Amino acid sequence: MKAQQGFLEQSVQVLASIGPKRALALGDAGIATLEDLLYYFPRRYLDRSTVTPIRDLKENEDATVVGRIIQADVQAGRKSRFVLALSDNTSILTCVWFSHVRYWQKKFIVGEWLAVSGKVSRFGVYQMTHPEFDLLGDDKENVGFNTGKIVPVYPSSEALTRVGFDSRGFRRITGRMMEGLSAKVEEILPAHLRESQNLMPLVQALKHIHYPDSFAALEAARHRLKFDELFFMQLMLAFRRKRFTAEAGGIAFDKVGDKVKRLIDALPFDLTEAQKKVLHEIRADMKSTKAMNRLLQGDVGSGKTIVALVTILIAVENGYQAALMAPTEILAEQHFLTIYHLLQTIDVQAVLLLGGQPKTLRAGILADIASGRAQIVIGTHALIQEQVEFCKLGLIIVDEQHRFGVMQRAMLKKKGQNPDVLVMTATPIPRTLSLTLYGDLHVSIIDQLPAGRKPVVTAWRSDSQRKKIYDFVRQQVKSGAQVFTVFPLVEESEKSDLKSAVESYEAMRATTFKDYRVGLLHGRMKSDEKETTMASFKNGDIDILVCTTVIEVGVDVPNATVMVVEHAERFGLAQLHQLRGRVGRGDKQSYCILIAYGALSGDARERLDVMAATTDGFKIADKDLELRGPGEFFGTKQSGLPALKIADVIHDIDILYRARKEAFDLVERDPQLVESNHVNTRTYFNNHFKGRYNLAWVG
């Protein structure tokens, strides 16, 4: 394995003809070593069997054609264009580009072979407009292609192409990489695992992903490399979970005392069966001497805060402090006010720690935390600052935890002695992503809304229907309801045609809703201004709150029953669902009106249709994942997971399940991977994951 690592860690410059300038361009594209190059996979493949002779082309159908360039020039006219003609000895195809004509003129050389793909039209002769293309070179290079060889087409960029790394340039250097590869690449998976999963050997997979002998071999190679990606990701999660379950010195919270009972008895509602089930799961964790590491997942309005508070009181009654960290000041303040109200008759000291508090107030709060007088500490990122010292931190709760980075959560945990950790999210997570993002956590789900809650009636409308929308808003306010009106911007920008909160607030207050009490809330306001505005809205002193997405999470005003979202086409599904969750929190019928502007893209229209069709957060999350893809659903930077190069957690779910089982079984059987047939797996893991994920304990 050391020999393999030594070779693969070498700079790409060791390959002939790659000088410093070209190596720099590769480095900017993330290719600095031979391993990076080896794992720079083709984006598609061309095969003789998929190429259509020009004479057999059909209008309005997509096709791939290979031919020799027989003509290439710029044609003048009302608007100049670049036209080239291809011949494959059966007929002629013209290809047309209407922009950057001088660039294309330099790109193509008469006499070279070219593969083009696109939709076929016909204007006397067959034609493609702005086709995808791949330069295939001269006759000598084309012999293999024309005898049935599968040709890899690599992703490139303008910067790479300028230094000779178009797809053909990549084929030259990857082809050179294949020479003697068997002696340079060792297997990284145990033999028993490869056999049980019927996986192609790694060296063969790497050869066939670049230069497959057949499409069957290509598929087997893709399967093996997808399995590798998902297996090592799951191996990291398995190590994390093993560490949590194996660590000694966790806190056993032995008793559930009078404070928990008094809280539950004082609630004006009964806990749902889902809340009770989750509390039993949390209680079992807390009684153990092993640290709790649990994800609490629940849709907006499902009652996670009450579950969190019961968990907090268990820690307090056992003599420990609890910290609740929220991503925004408004959410932290909302949690503090809710908890403060619920604990009015219970002797527990809670404090709120924010970044911009006056120096004297902050000093007093820090002293209370350090002495232990503050039993519950609620705050934002301010909780992880160096000067914050806890007396006896036993429980950490992180709300909307996907908004925090991995290191931020770790820094808060270090302020206690192996405290229990409960992370919460109101963003429903598809099953596939929960296995990747939170595969190291035990998961609890509140899948039931409190009794009496009515689904929010949702509709999307165009801007042209604004008068009807505002008439409806007036009717609702007259009947005693309160309204959120959300804008994507705080202030108008010269470069944007989006409506903004400040300008719209002024217009509404002066004209549109001049007979009503209109308030303004946005993230640039000072903390005390935001707190005053929210208090006024909650107390019923504001009828219509004009705001930005600062109210996206945590704001709880049961009398607010109308949510109007301006420029809804600009928001993602998860954010729209969170915004809608600010209404429908009481027993009154609530409404969400999504206002869209202009001509909508297909994806935008689909998002709005989904919002109007369902209030089920898990269905929305599945659709959001489908539309955005796993790479964007949650940033890998925030989750602490690597970007996937070839696997896709949506379409490769079967591979994910198998990889997960094998990874967790392996760690259970050999926790430190010390057995001889696991050495290469251990070495590969340590070289690629150990430093990044702070897993120094593995080894």
Query: Is the pLDDT confidence value at 699 over 50?
Result: no
Residue 414 burial (C-beta neighbours within 10 Å; 0-12, 13-18, 19+): exposed
Query: Is the pLDDT confidence value at 197 over 90?
Result: yes
479 and 382 belong to one structural domain: no
What angle in degrees, to the nearest 10, is found between the helix axes of 258-266 and 304-317?
Answer: 150
Picking from 614, 641, 663, the residue at the C-terminal end of a domain is 614
310 and 394 belong to one structural domain: yes
Closest C-alpha among 623, 619, 618 to residue 607: 623
419 and 480 belong to one structural domain: no
Using alpha carbons only, how large is the chain's radius of gyration in Å?
A: 30
- The arithmetic mean of pLDDT across residues 278-285, rounded, is 95
Q: Which residues pair with 594 in a beta bridge?
A: 460, 565
Please give the model's pTM, rounded to 2 decimal places: 0.63
Inside any domain, residue 14: no
Least confident residue range of 7-21, 251-265, 361-375, 637-651: 637-651
- Considering only residues 396 and 554, tell me which one the structure prediction assigns the higher pLDDT: 396
601 and 469 belong to one structural domain: yes
- State the residue for tokens 């924010």: 354
Q: CA 492 from chain center: how many Å?
A: 29
Is residue 640 helix, strand or coil?
A: coil
Q: Which residues pair with 596 in a beta bridge?
A: 462
604 and 487 belong to one structural domain: yes
Res. 205 pLDDT band, cuts 50 70 90: very high
Q: CA 610 from chain center: how many Å?
A: 19
241 contacts 281 by C-beta, under 8 angstroms:
no
- The arithmetic mean of pLDDT across residues 230-243, rounded, is 86
414 and 498 belong to one structural domain: no
509 contacts 518 by C-beta, under 8 angstroms:
yes
> How high is the mean pLDDT of the chain?
85
Inside any domain, residue 175: no
d(CA 501, CA 507): 10
Inside any domain, residue 30: no
| pLDDT score recorded for residue 476 | 95
Picking from 446, 475, 499, the residue at the C-terminal end of a domain is 446
461 and 441 belong to one structural domain: no
Instruction: Tell me what percent of the chain is helix, strand and coil, each rounded to the nearest 5.
Output: 45, 20, 35
d(CA 499, CA 207): 54
Q: Return the percentage of the chain with pLDDT > 90, whole number.
A: 44
d(CA 541, CA 555): 16
Residue 288 belongs to a domain with what CATH number? 3.40.50.300
Inside any domain, residue 156: no
379 and 401 belong to one structural domain: yes
User: What are 52-59's contacts with CB under 8 Å, separation 24+?
Assistant: 53/88, 53/90, 53/91, 54/86, 54/87, 54/88, 54/90, 54/91, 54/92, 54/93, 54/126, 55/90, 55/91, 56/90, 57/93, 57/120, 57/126, 58/120, 59/120, 59/121, 59/122, 59/126
Inside any domain, residue 262: yes
Res. 133 pLDDT band, cuts 50 70 90: confident
What's the domain range around 93? 48-149
| pLDDT score recorded for residue 143 | 45
Inside any domain, residue 656: no
pLDDT in tens, 142-152: 544 444 578 88
| pLDDT score recorded for residue 269 | 84
Residue 116 belongs to a domain with what CATH number? 2.40.50.140
User: What is the per-residue burial (b if ≥16 Cβ within 10 Å, else e) of 73-93?
Assistant: eeeeeeeebbbbbbebeebbb
Res. 595 pLDDT band, cuts 50 70 90: very high
Query: Is the pLDDT confidence value at 640 over 70?
Result: no
Picking from 422, 446, 470, the residue at the C-terminal end of a domain is 446
- The arithmetic mean of pLDDT across residues 171-191, rounded, is 88
284 and 427 belong to one structural domain: yes
d(CA 83, CA 512): 56
| pLDDT score recorded for residue 441 | 74
Inside any domain, residue 370: yes
399 and 534 belong to one structural domain: no
Inside any domain, residue 465: yes
Res. 37 pLDDT band, cuts 50 70 90: very high
465 and 609 belong to one structural domain: yes
User: What is the helix (H) or strand (E) element at residue 202, kind and residue range?
Assistant: helix 202-210
What angle in degrees, to the nearest 10, is found between the helix axes of 617-628 and 573-580?
Answer: 160
Closest C-alpha among 588, 618, 574, 553 to residue 455: 588
d(CA 562, CA 485): 8
Least confident residue range of 245-254, 455-464, 578-587: 245-254
Res. 48 pLDDT band, cuts 50 70 90: low
Closest C-alpha among 462, 441, 457 to residue 596: 462
pLDDT in tens, 372-429: 999 999 999 899 998 999 999 999 999 876 666 667 777 888 898 889 999 888 776 7
pLDDT in tens, 451-474: 777 889 999 999 999 999 999 999
471 and 589 belong to one structural domain: yes
In total, how many domains does the chain have? Answer: 3
